């Protein structure tokens, strides 16, 4: 998982990064552009240096497939697991735990990604239950969901407790897909998932 804050809306210069850890899984970068804009290109070189800001020590972070920035409080990221309902808030300054929450009304099949965006409550966490491989459901599901969860106000002292999710279920018009990521429109809150590319 990785996080890059892009700051203000508008064009941004290219950036590079790399993982210092062995056996790191494949990483992908999605570059978005307006439909009317010229085509864009992505460099194929990577930085040779990195900065370690800390170690995520929370015992609740077991298999984190996604990470998303808190929209209420700068410097906070949400991390989650694939098969549990725990969401952990960590600091971008030192990776320390700032909050631990449980999504009370959900049994995830395979949470593969998380995003944040606007919602009727103001700002929400969007959890993508969009994978097809999970210990919770040995038979791969054909129905998926995006869960919308109002963001906790960590700055006001909300650092634990239960969060309640609103479920938006969907099925694909063709065979079910094993998706790995979701994106949420920063203004409308519309979300979309990105299916995993088949091997080969």
Q: Which residue ranges make up each domain of the chain?
A: 66-195
Q: Which CATH architecture is the domain 66-195 placed in?
A: Beta Barrel (2.40)
Longest dimension (CA), the chain: 49
Question: Concatenated DSSP letters for 18-76?
Answer: ---STTPPP--------TTSPP--------S----------TT-SS--EEEE-SSSTTE
Could you give the CA distance from residue 100 to residue 69 in angstroms, rounded to a whole number? Answer: 15
> Per the structure block, which two tokens stand in for 182?
């979701």
The residue among 165, 98, 173, 91 whose CA lies nearest residue 128 is 165
pLDDT-derived band at 65 (thresholds 50, 70, 90) equals confident
Asked if 96 contacts 113 with a C-beta cutoff of 8 angstroms, the reply is no
| 123-169 confidence digits (pLDDT tens) | 999 999 998 877 667 788 888 999 999 999 999 999 999 999 999 99
Asked if 86 contacts 102 with a C-beta cutoff of 8 angstroms, the reply is yes
pLDDT given for residue 100 in this prediction: 97
- Its pTM stands at 0.74
Asked if 27 contacts 67 with a C-beta cutoff of 8 angstroms, the reply is no
| 120-133 confidence digits (pLDDT tens) | 999 999 999 998 87
Could you give the CA distance from residue 165 to residue 74 in angstroms, rounded to a whole number? Answer: 23
């Amino acid at each position: 998982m990785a996080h890059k804050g892009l700051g203000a809306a508008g064009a941004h210069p290219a950036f590079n990064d790399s993982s210092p850890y062995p056996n790191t899984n494949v990483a992908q970068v999605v570059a978005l552009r307006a439909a009317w804009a010229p085509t864009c290109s992505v460099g194929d070189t990577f930085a040779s240096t990195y900065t370690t800001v800390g170690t995520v020590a929370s015992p609740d972070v077991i298999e984190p497939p996604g990470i998303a920035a808190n929209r209420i409080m700068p410097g906070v990221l949400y991390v989650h697991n694939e098969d549990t309902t725990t969401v952990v808030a960590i600091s971008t300054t030192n990776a320390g735990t700032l909050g631990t929450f449980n999504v009370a009304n959900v049994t995830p099949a395979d949470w593969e990604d998380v995003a944040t965006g606007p919602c009727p409550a103001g700002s929400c966490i969007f959890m993508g239950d969009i994978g097809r491989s999970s210990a919770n459901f040995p038979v791969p599901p054909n129905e998926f969901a995006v869960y919308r969860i109002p963001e906790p106000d960590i700055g006001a002292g909300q650092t634990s407790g239960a969060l309640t999710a609103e479920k938006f279920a969907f099925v694909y018009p063709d065979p079910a897909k094993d998706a790995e990521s979701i994106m949420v429109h920063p203004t409308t809150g519309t979300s979309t998932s990105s299916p995993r590319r088949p091997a080969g």
